[in-house]
Structure 1
Amino acid sequence: MAIALVRIDDRLVHGQVVEGWLRVIDADTIVVVNDDVAKDDMQRTLYSLSVPPDVSIECLSVDSAIEQFKNNKFSKQKLLILLSRPADLLKMLKNGLKVSSVNVGGLHYSPGKKQILKGLSLDDNDVSVLREIAGFNIELESRALPKDDRLNVIDLIKASY
C-alpha cells in the first residue's frame, strides 16, 4: 500500500481534490473515512460520480477503515485518504495507521471555531487533536492546492492560540 496523500477537509470529495490533488499525486483509489458518508447511499453515489472512471472510491466508517488497513485491503493501491475531522485521523493513528505527513486542507468556519487561515478554522478540540497527531512525529501542513506554499499547522496554531 502506498499512501500518496492524507487530507483533512470537511468537504471531502470536491473540485480542489479531484482536479487539483488527484492529478498531481496520481492516486488510483480514494478512501473517504467518515461515519456519516458510510451510511448515506446518496452521498456515496454522488462521490463515486465525481471522480474519474479510472479512480476507485471507497467510503468507509472510521472503524471499518481501521479494519481494512489492518487487513491490508489496499496493499496494491496508491491511496488518497480523505477525512473530515482530525479526531477520526487520530483514532486511525492510535489503531495502527502509519503516515508521515497530513495535509490539513479545509476546516471551515462554524460557531465556536477561530479562523486561522482562509478555509481553516479550529476549535479547542481540533487544536488539541492536531497537537496529539503531531506527537506521532507527523508533519501537519496546510495548503489548498499542491502548487500553494506549505504552511506548518502547528506554527499557525502557536501564532493564533
Structure 2
Amino acid sequence: MPIVLVRIDDRLVHGQIVQGWLKILDVNIILVVSDIVTLDTMQQMLMTMAVPDNIKLDIKNLKNATNGITNGQYDKERVMILAVSPSDILYMIEAGADFKSVNVGGMHFISGKRQLLRNLCVNDNDVESLHKIHIKSVEIEGRILPEDEKKDIMPLIEKEYRSMHRR
C-alpha cells in the first residue's frame, strides 16, 4: 500500500490538510483514525464537506483502521492517514503497520500538556509513544505544511523522555 503520508494532527481534516497537503499529494483516500469521530455524525459530516469529491474519506475507529491497513484493504490505494495521537500510531505499528515516516503536524495545547514548540504540546503518554515509535526506526518529523522545512523533533522528545524517567 502506498501510504503517502501518516500524520498526527488533533484537528484531523482542516484547511491545512485540504489546501496544503492535498494539493501536492496524489492521494485518493484520506483515512481518519478516530474512535471519537466514528461516533460523532456532525464531525463526520463536516469532514466530508471539507474533502474534495475526487477523494474518498474513510473514517474508522482505531481497531478497524488498523485491521484495514494490516490486512491489505488499502494496498491498491494512495492513502493519507490522519490520527489524533501518537499512541494511535504506535498501536498501528505494533499491530504490523509498516510506516517509514510520521509527520507531526498539530498537537495543540490542552490541560495536562506542556508546550515544546508552537504546534507541539505533549503529555507523558505522547512522549512515551513518540519515543517507542522512534526506536522502531520510524522517522518522526515536525511540519505544519508541505512547503515547510522538515524539523527533527526527536531531540526535544528525547529530552522530555529522559526528564520523565528521572522523576
TM-score range, shorter chain: over 0.9
**Count of residues paired in the alignment:** 161
- Name the counterpart of 2:143: 143
Q: TM-score, normalised by structure 1?
A: 0.95
> Helix, strand or coil: the match of 2:36?
helix
Query: 5+ residue gaps in structure 2?
Result: none
Q: TM-score, normalised by structure 2?
A: 0.92
> Helix, strand or coil: the match of 2:146?
coil
State yes or no: 1:109 paired with 2:109: yes
Task: Kindly provide the CA deviation profile for residues 122-150 of structure 1, in whole angstroms up to 9, marking residues without a partner as x.
Answer: 11111111000101100000010011111
Q: 1:65-144 alignment to 2 at 5 Å?
A: 65-144=65-144
- Name the CA distance, whole Å, in 2 between partners of 1:82 and 1:110: 19
> Helix, strand or coil: the match of 1:98?
coil
- Name the CA distance, whole Å, in 2 between partners of 1:70 and 1:111: 34
Shift of 1:82: 0.1
**Contact in 1 for aligned 2:38/2:44 (Cα 8 Å):** yes
- Name the counterpart of 1:52: 52
- Name the counterpart of 1:40: 40
Which letter does structure 2 place at the counterpart of 1:81? I
- Name the CA distance, whole Å, in 2 between partners of 1:31 and 1:79: 7
Shift of 1:71: 2.4
**Contact in 1 for aligned 2:103/2:143 (Cα 8 Å):** yes
- Name the counterpart of 1:19: 19
State yes or no: 1:155 paired with 2:159: no
- Name the CA distance, whole Å, in 2 between partners of 1:87 and 1:57: 22
Write out the 4+ residue segments of structure 1 that deviate beyond 6 Å after TM superposition. none
- Name the CA distance, whole Å, in 2 between partners of 1:66 and 1:122: 23
Identity fraction in percent: 41
| RMSD over aligned Cα atoms | 1.2
Shift of 1:156: 2.3
Query: 5+ residue gaps in structure 1?
Result: none
Deviates more, 1:67-76 or 1:103-112: 67-76
- Name the CA distance, whole Å, in 2 between partners of 1:22 and 1:96: 26
Which letter does structure 1 place at the counterpart of 2:60? L
> Helix, strand or coil: the match of 1:35?
coil
